[in-house]
């Protein structure tokens, strides 16, 4: 039987325990590997001739990726979750019971359980490799670090640093981990083995007191914050306020993390670990965690896909790219490509327009610089990968070109037709349209099979979703190229078939249009927004209209009205808003006003709203009025083949609109409501408010089987 762990004892009495999980690209902890590690540590405990132990990985770019999420997914009983936590804690604690110091040598990803193992070692060193990432991302799965991370990290690096690491779930590079006190030394990746041996000899010689001393923050202010009851009370109060602002209280894990750290601070390690394990048991069996784990698996599936049914299709390499249109979107796209080390050419009709793309890219990067996400030299390198032009010079050498000009079908067709004369026959062409038909635009091209839609959401650098739009001519090769390029750009892609509004905008329009209809039935926009934020949306639908731009919403609505007029509420309110010069946040005046930089109520908007039939609706009814039409339309999209699967609908809504992840997505939410209930309510709304609520034949098909998902 092949083993995951191997041990080597050197002549200088330094032992090396190596982790290399057979037949896997990454090292993970599962039941089998944990037992093997436990047995190995028991054997090491008997070795009195070892002076120091190095724990290393043989896998390039990977230390330990964490626990096996598939095993976690199967746990539905909190007592079993508790037992899993205690088992992991017990195994890792054996590092501290060894009769010699231990050193975790981190080269590559060290996440979750991997970091918790490292915390149980006497020392931690990490390489300067770009692949070295250290963190505790459990909170993103609705969990807490339950293999001693929640207990040990605050004791090691202090309360403030630990809360930041555990509550955010963000990973750190070696430098940040060093500044945070998590690791004791940074070593060169090229000589990791030799440098680790050198460090082990320092440990044996007893030259490490300063390393241990520097782990916790020092100074009078930090003493007051960390060591006094009032200071700690302020830290926990601020952390809880931050959590509630970010999550609305919908996610139990961050609050459980705060409670656990607060309750274990003065306890012995053993008692603290007991409390930590109980907390993990409760979280691991929760519905919220199950939904977040499911989303994690969906994103992992997408990483392995190419956007087509044929996994053998190989994408074309994209080493150079270009964007047509140097507006806010074009500049955002240029910055994205350049940040991923793909040189990009930006073209517009004059140099003033091209300059705006540079300004937009620089603005985005400046924000990252101020937040210390990049350094000034890196910003310069990124900007140097962006070049501008007013002609097509350099386009012959581009592997990929994306058109991002004004949302006008005739202008786009003219631009595409002209573009085709200046590129080679292998160049993939994409259009960044949000609602226009890809097939209509393809008519302007001679080579149609290399043309696809690539819908970036605004702002490009923040929104994680892209829709890869397959037209009737789009080849598998083109789809695979754009799908994999999207992943290289750090986005989560879904493939949708060509249709007005594609998937996300088509569903979202129902949400926003119905919100406008509710305004005209006497509901206040503050109530509508508040109810949907409490539901779990990142912002309410009225706020979203201001964010998107009321002019943009009107333009999209007009396009979709051609095919969806029978299921959209009639209203001229948005046109009235435009006539009154209210375009939204970008002009500091929409449904709300933004003169101070923050949203404020504007009493004058109420005068523009013509209340037709004042109706009282409960919070639940408001939610149903806005979400159930989206479910109805999503069923149509699945039935018509616009979306490939229920998974893609939910990924689209979560990553494209921020639809409450803890609910598992729009269709998971529909299943939790019960499709029979959804149909019943829509039918009642139809009788009261009109035919736009008519349950679709598509939804009725899914109601018959009672679900959207096959399992």
Pair 75, 212 in one domain = yes
**Euclidean distance between CA atoms 651 and 664, whole angstroms:** 9
Least confident of 86-100, 229-243, 271-285: 229-243
Alpha carbons 624 and 615: distance in angstroms, whole number: 15
* pLDDT band with cut points at 50, 70 and 90 for residue 1: very low
Q: How confident is the model at residue 2 (pLDDT cuts 50, 70, 90)?
A: low
Domain containing residue 398: CATH number: 3.40.50.720
Distance CA 518, CA 535 (A): 17
Q: What is the largest CA-CA distance in the chain?
A: 88
Cα dihedral 159, 162, 166, 171, rounded to 10, equals 160
Inside any domain, residue 10: yes
Q: Among positive and negative, which fits the CA dihedral 308, 312, 313, 316?
A: positive
Q: Are both 112 and 242 inside the same structural domain?
A: yes
On whether residue 188 sits in a domain, the answer given is yes
pLDDT score of 612 = 80
* Token pair listed for 190: 């090229």
Q: Which two tokens stand for residue 341?
A: 């080390």
Q: What is the pLDDT of residues 678-705, one digit of tens each?
A: 999 999 999 998 899 999 999 999 999 9
Does residue 316 lie within any of the structural domains?
Answer: no
Cα 385 from chain centre: 26
Reported as half-sphere exposure (CB side, CA atoms, 13 A), residue 74 has a value of 6
Query: What's residue 616's pLDDT?
Result: 86
Kindly report the backbone phi and psi dihedral angles of residue 474, in degrees, each rounded to the nearest multiple of 5, phi listed first.
-60, 130
- Please state, in angstroms and rounded to a whole number, the distance separating the CA atoms of residues 481 and 26: 26
- For residues 209-236, give the mean pLDDT: 84
- The answer to whether 161 and 261 are in contact (CB under 8 A) is no
What is the arithmetic mean of pLDDT over 563-590?
A: 89
**Beta bridge partners of residue 346, listed in sequence order:** 323, 388
Predicted pLDDT of residue 266: 87
Which residue(s) pair with 495 in the sheet? 468
Residues composing the chain: 711
The 8-class DSSP code of residue 694 comes to P
Q: Is residue 310 part of a domain?
A: no
* Whether residue 641 sits in one domain with residue 618: yes
The Cα-based distances of 550 to 26, 161, 408, 501 in angstroms read 47, 42, 17, 16
Q: Which of 155-169, 450-464, 562-576 has the lowest mean pLDDT?
A: 562-576
Q: Are residues 195 and 62 in the same domain?
A: yes
Partners of 70 in beta bridges:
none
For 16-37, write each residue's pLDDT tens digit.
999 999 999 999 999 999 999 9
Q: Is residue 308 part of a domain?
A: no
Q: Is the pLDDT of residue 123 over 70?
A: yes
Do residue 190 and residue 255 come from a single domain?
Answer: yes
Q: Are residues 172 and 225 in the same domain?
A: yes
- CA angle 662/243/67 to nearest 5° reads 55
Domain limits for position 383: 321-498
Let me know if residue 236 belongs to a domain: yes
Tokens of 106: 């981190």
Q: Which residues of 140-150 are buried (b: 16+ CB within 10 A; e: fewer)?
A: bbbbbbbbbbb
Q: Do residue 442 and residue 386 come from a single domain? A: yes
455 as an active site residue: the answer is yes
561 band by pLDDT with thresholds 50, 70 and 90: confident
Question: Band of the pLDDT at 566, cuts 50, 70, 90?
Answer: confident
Same-domain check for residues 207 and 227: yes
Q: Measure the CA–CA gap between 562 and 584, rounded to whole angstroms.
A: 25
390 and 521 share a domain? no
Domain boundary among 469, 498, 527: 498
Q: Flag whether 303 is in a domain.
A: no
Domain count across the chain: 3
Domain assignment present for 536: yes
Options 455, 461, 473, 510, the catalytic residue: 455
User: Do 61 and 210 share a domain, yes or no?
Assistant: yes
Average pLDDT over residues 443-451: 97
Which one of 247, 269, 291 terminates a domain? 291
Q: Point out which residues pair with 5 in neighbouring strands.
A: 19
Contacts of 376 (CB under 8 A, 6+ apart): 369
In whole angstroms, what is the distance from residue 194 CA to residue 182 CA? 22
- CB count within 10 Å of CB 66 equals 26
Give the position of tokens 């921020």. Answer: 658
> From the centroid of its chain, how far is CA 165?
17
Asked if 26 and 152 sit in the same domain, the reply is yes
CATH number at residue 679: 1.10.1040.50
Residues 126, 109: Cα–Cα separation, whole Å: 10
* Cα–Cα distances in angstroms (integers) from residue 455 to residues 404, 438, 658, in the given order: 10, 11, 16
Residue 152 sits in a domain whose CATH number is: 3.90.226.10
Mean pLDDT of all residues belonging to the chain: 94
Q: Which has more pLDDT, 593 or 221?
A: 593
Sort residue 5 into left (φ over 0), alpha (ψ -120 to 50) or beta. beta
Q: Which of 498, 530, 563 is the last residue of a domain?
A: 498
Q: Are residues 606 and 490 in the same domain?
A: no
Which pLDDT score, from 0 to 100, does residue 591 have? 95
CB under 8 Å to 403, separation ≥6 — which residues?
A: 323, 324, 325, 412, 415, 416, 419, 429, 430, 431, 432
Instruction: Output the DSSP codes for 353-390.
Output: HHHHHHHHHHHHHHHHHHTTSS-HHHHHHHHHTEEEES
What DSSP assignment string belongs to 304-344? Answer: H--SSS-TTPPPPP-S-EEEE--SHHHHHHHHHHHHTT--E
């Amino acid at each position: 039987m092949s083993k995951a762990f191997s041990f080597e004892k050197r002549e200088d009495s330094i032992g090396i325990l190596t982790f290399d999980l057979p037949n896997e690209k990454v090292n993970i902890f599962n039941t089998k590997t944990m037992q093997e590690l436990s047995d190995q540590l028991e054997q090491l405990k008997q070795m009195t001739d070892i002076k120091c132990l190095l724990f290393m990985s043989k896998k390039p770019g990977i230390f330990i990726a964490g626990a096996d999420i598939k095993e976690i997914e199967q746990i539905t009983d909190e007592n079993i979750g508790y037992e899993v936590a205690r088992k992991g804690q017990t195994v890792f604690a054996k590092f501290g019971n060894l009769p010699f110091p231990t050193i975790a040598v981190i080269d590559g990803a060290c996440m979750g359980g991997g970091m918790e193992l490292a915390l149980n070692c006497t020392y931690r060193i990490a390489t300067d490799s770009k692949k070295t990432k250290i963190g505790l991302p459990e909170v993103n799965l609705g969990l807490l670090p339950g293999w001693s991370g929640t207990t040990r990290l605050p004791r090691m690096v202090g309360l403030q640093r630990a809360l930041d690491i555990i509550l955010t779930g963000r990973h750190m590079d070696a430098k940040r981990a060093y500044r945070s006190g998590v690791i004791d030394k940074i070593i060169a990746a090229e000589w990791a083995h030799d440098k680790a041996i050198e460090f082990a000899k320092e440990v044996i010689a007893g030259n490490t007191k300063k390393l241990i001393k520097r782990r916790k923050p020092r100074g009078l202010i930090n003493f007051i914050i960390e060591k006094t009851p009032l200071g700690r009370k302020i830290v926990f109060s601020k952390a809880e306020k931050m959590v509630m602002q970010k999550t609305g209280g919908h996610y139990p894990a961050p609050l459980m993390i705060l409670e656990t750290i607060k309750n274990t601070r003065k306890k012995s390690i053993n008692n603290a670990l007991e409390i930590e394990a109980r907390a993990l048991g409760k979280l691991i069996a929760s519905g919220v965690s199950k939904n977040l784990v499911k989303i994690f698996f969906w994103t992992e599936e997408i990483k392995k896909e190419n956007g087509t049914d044929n996994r053998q299709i190989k994408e074309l390499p994209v080493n150079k790219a270009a964007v047509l249109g140097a507006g806010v979107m074009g500049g955002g796209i240029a910055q994205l490509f350049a940040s991923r080390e793909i040189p990009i050419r930006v073209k517009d009709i004059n140099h003033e327009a091209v300059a705006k793309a540079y300004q937009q890219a620089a603005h985005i990067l400046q924000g990252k610089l101020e937040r210390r996400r990049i350094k000034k030299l890196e910003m310069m390198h990124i900007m140097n990968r962006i070049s501008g032009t007013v002609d097509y010079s350099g386009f012959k050498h581009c592997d990929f070109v994306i058109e991002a000009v004004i949302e006008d079908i005739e202008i786009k067709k003219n631009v595409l037709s002209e573009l085709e004369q200046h590129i080679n026959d292998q160049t993939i062409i994409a259009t960044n349209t949000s609602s226009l038909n890809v097939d209509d635009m393809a008519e302007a091209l001679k080579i149609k099979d290399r043309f696809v839609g690539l819908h970036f959401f605004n702002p490009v650098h923040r929104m994680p979703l892209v829709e890869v739009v397959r037209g009737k001519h789009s080849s598998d090769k083109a789809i695979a190229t754009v799908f994999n390029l999207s992943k290289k750009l750090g986005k989560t892609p879904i493939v949708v078939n060509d249709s007005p509004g594609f998937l996300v905008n088509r569903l979202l329009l129902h949400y926003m249009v119905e919100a406008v209809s509710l305004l005209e039935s006497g509901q206040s926009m503050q109530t509508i927004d508040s109810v949907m934020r409490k539901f779990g949306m990142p912002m309410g639908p009225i706020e979203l209209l201001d964010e998107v731009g009321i002019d943009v919403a009107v333009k999209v609505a007009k396009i979709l009205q051609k095919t969806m007029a029978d299921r959209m509420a009639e209203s001229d309110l948005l046109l009235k808003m435009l006539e009154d010069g209210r375009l939204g946040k970008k002009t500091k005046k929409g449904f709300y006003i933004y003169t101070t930089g923050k949203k404020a109520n504007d009493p004058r908007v109420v005068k523009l709203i013509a209340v037709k039939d004042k109706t009282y609706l409960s919070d639940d009814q408001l939610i149903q009025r806005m979400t159930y039409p989206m479910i109805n339309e999503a069923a149509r999209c699945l039935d018509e083949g616009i979306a490939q699967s229920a998974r893609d609908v939910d990924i689209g809504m979560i990553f494209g609109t921020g639809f409450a992840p803890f609910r598992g997505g729009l269709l998971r939410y529909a299943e939790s409501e019960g499709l029979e209930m959804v149909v019943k309510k829509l039918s009642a709304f139809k009788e009261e408010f009109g035919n736009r609520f008519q349950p679709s034949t598509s939804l009725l098909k899914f109601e018959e089987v009672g679900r959207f998902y096959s399992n």
